[in-house]
Amino acid sequence: MKIETESNIDIYYFSGTGNTLLVVKKMQETFQDNGVEVELHKIEDSDPLKINLEHTIGIAFPVAILSTYHFVWDFIHSLPPSNGTKIFMVDTLGGFSGGVVGPMREIIKKKGYNTIGAKEIQMPLNVFYVEDGKTNQNKIEKGLEEAHQYALRILNGESEWGRVPVLSDAVNKLSRGALKLADLDFHQKLFIFDPEPEKCKKCGICVDLCPVGNIQMMEGKYPKHGLNCEYCLRCVSLCLRQAMPAKFNYKGKTYHAVKAKEFLG
């Protein structure tokens, strides 16, 4: 089903360290170059019950532990019923997902939406192993071209949102279980990202960047993490002084595709 010229698309996105933001901006550019108005909305700041069902909806997010973050799933589960609103998804990942595309499609279809497309786009890793700048740039350029082509397929009615029932459901259950394990207090305390005092200047950027309000900072004190971390790595990767311990990264390296101001505007 084609997207008509002069129609509207609302893309609701979450981006951890910038890969997904780059992708949705490229798709926005492609849509608008073809006469379709696009607005971008941050999932963490959006009420799913207030989406405009007269517009085509896009959902964009990064993959985390073969799936995606709790608050992204909560947004999907909270979408209002629809009578055929067109909807597509795109995710960014460093490797493999398997537990997103099919399960998300089933949730959305049961709500009455018309699922018109799904795409997973390889982008640079931001966790465990950070590659060199040239390799990352090549991945970004390739990923953005895929985003451009995907947007064109959506416009022309050539995209699809498929499903592999048994495999995707099994991977989804496995990944959601792993994310629940990450929520346990002992795990949060083990991998907490409180800053290193000798580096931290108490600027508060990490507080503003956290999508779930997990970081608090009293006047004159250092930022303090709570026990609701989603491990999106914004605070680690976007700290101006690299004061957050990079416990998940390779040899202390961090990666971010955009600057902090892109999330704070």
Strand-strand pairing, 56-62 and 86-93: parallel
Residue 3: the pLDDT is 76
Residue 27: the pLDDT is 98
Sign, CA torsion 63/150/139/21: negative
pLDDT digit string, tens, across residues 34-68:
999 999 999 999 999 999 999 999 999 999 878 89
Domains of the chain: 8-172 (3.40.50.360), 185-265 (3.30.70.20)
Residue 12: the pLDDT is 98
Q: Is the pLDDT of residue 178 over 60?
A: no
Q: Is the pLDDT of residue 245 over 90?
A: no
Residue 203: the pLDDT is 93
Higher pLDDT, 88 or 176: 88
The answer for residues whose C-beta is within 8 angstroms of residue 132's C-beta and 6 or more apart is none
Question: Contact at 8 Å (CB) between 99 and 175?
Answer: yes
- Alpha-carbon span 183 to 163, nearest angstrom: 28
Q: What is the mean pLDDT of the chain?
A: 87
Confidence of residue 186 (pLDDT cuts 50, 70, 90): very low
- The average pLDDT across 62-90 equals 94
Question: Contact at 8 Å (CB) between 20 and 144?
Answer: no
Q: Where would I find the H helices in the chain? A: 19-33, 70-77, 101-110, 133-155, 165-183, 185-190, 205-209, 234-238, 261-264
Residue 168: the pLDDT is 55
- The average pLDDT across 193-220 equals 92
Backbone angles phi, psi at 74, to 5 degrees: -60, -40
Confidence of residue 184 (pLDDT cuts 50, 70, 90): very low
Confidence of residue 188 (pLDDT cuts 50, 70, 90): low
Eight-state DSSP code of residue 38: E
